[in-house]
Amino acid sequence: MTDKDVSDLSKFVSVKQAAEMLGISVKRLYKYVEDGRLLAFKPGGRDYLIPKEAVENLELKAAGRPREKTPRWNIYRSGSQLRVLAIDVQIRPGQQGRLEEKLQEIRRTERHIFTGSIARYILEDSTTSDLLSIWLIWKDSELPEPAQQERELAAFRAELDDVLDWQTARYQHKKGLLYT
């Protein structure tokens, strides 16, 4: 690239902006540049400029190694079992965007971890975008006392009360039989 190629700076972003666009660290972005996966230009010895189009067209690989074989079914040993609280609840009309903002903030601040839980899922129904499914998963050996579980669930409901209609919530308590 030459200085003429960067005459329209609106077509370029900084390393930091590119990393934010891709949702990766600046260090990882420099590695992509170094490996030739991402085009970058350093005009006059300044910081890198990266074409917006190159950032937008970069295909990120999935994190981790791809599985070589499908995991087998397992049974919990020593009488331990999986306990799941599954909640289906309606999203209040017009609140999808606000819900997403609140969920991002919950993730960012690491709130509502639910003591002892081994996994938490919040899922949007693919057939109807106004239904949310929440799965909270524990090993029964790590399940908190019912009063603590209810306090944590009440705090979660309170935080999302303006975007979820808890009056429509359906609660299901499940016990795991097999897992992978």
Residue-wise pLDDT tens digits, 32-46: 888 888 888 887 777
Q: Which two tokens stand for residue 62?
A: 């999935």
Count how many residues are written for the chain.
180
| CA separation, residue 149 to residues 85, 116, 156 (Å) | 11, 10, 11
Q: Which two tokens stand for residue 5?
A: 């190629």
- Domains in the chain, ordered, with CATH? 8-57 (1.10.10), 82-175 (3.30.70.100)
Q: What is the pTM of this model?
A: 0.63
Q: Which two tokens stand for residue 171?
A: 């609660």
pLDDT in tens, 111-147: 999 999 999 999 998 888 899 999 999 988 888 999 9
Contact 3, 43 (CB under 8 A): yes
- pLDDT at position 3, please? 47
